[in-house]
Amino acid sequence: MSVTTPAEREELNQLLLQTARSDQKAFAELYRRTSSKLFGVCLRMLRDRAEAEEVLQETYTTVWRRATSFDASKASAITWLVTLSRNKSIDRLRQHREELLDDPVRMDETVDDSPSPAVDAETSQEHQRLESCLDELEPKQQSSVREAFFTGATYNELATRCKVPLGTMKSWIRRSLMQLRACLEQ
């Protein structure tokens, strides 16, 4: 499954709207077409297959129950779905935060490089635009934003991982977010 063309996005929007009308077939098709994406997101953030499976299950049961709150004028279905899976994963991470911080092995494991950028042709226009704006950031700030996005870490955790004071991390991220907004709005 890849969600790159406007036509594919529109199909997913329709499937989610049908799901909101309690259409089980549409929901099954939506799962078939989006679950690998969402499972990839959960696995990337949680780094534990059993936990990612649980969060994926929670995500889709929530999709079924809350599909009526999807507003196609605010976001595309895939953005809505990825957001939901990220939110569930982050909630789960926050629950386990103390355990994780106490576990040095796990801590080392979570410090890694940003994901290898996918081949440009395979990602959406929106993504390519965002990448070019990210490229304009200072390298350290850019990698902090990526680390934050892909691991769901808090400011505190990011500061520890990057070995900088909390205040520095906050200003890096905030400045980056403002710069990204300005760049994307050009």
Nearest-approach distance from CB 167 to another protein, in angstroms: 14
- Cβ neighbors of 66 (< 8 A, separation 6 or more) are none
Nearest-approach distance from CB 118 to another protein, in angstroms: 5
Q: In the complex with another protein, which residue's Cβ is closer, 14 or 96?
A: 96
Nearest-approach distance from CB 14 to another protein, in angstroms: 19
Chain Cα centroid distance, residue 31: 17
Q: Hey, what long-range contacts does 78-82 have (CB within 8 A, 24 or more apart)? A: 78/3, 78/9, 78/12, 78/34, 78/37, 80/16, 81/12, 81/16, 81/34, 81/37, 81/38, 82/37, 82/38, 82/41
List contacts with another protein (CB under 8 A): 1-2, 24, 28, 31, 35-37, 39-41, 43-44, 47-51, 53, 56-57, 60-61, 64, 71, 74-75, 79, 82-83, 86-87, 90-91, 94-95, 97, 105-106, 108-109, 115-118, 122-124, 126-127, 129-130, 145-146, 148-150, 152-156, 158, 173-174, 177-178, 180-181, 184
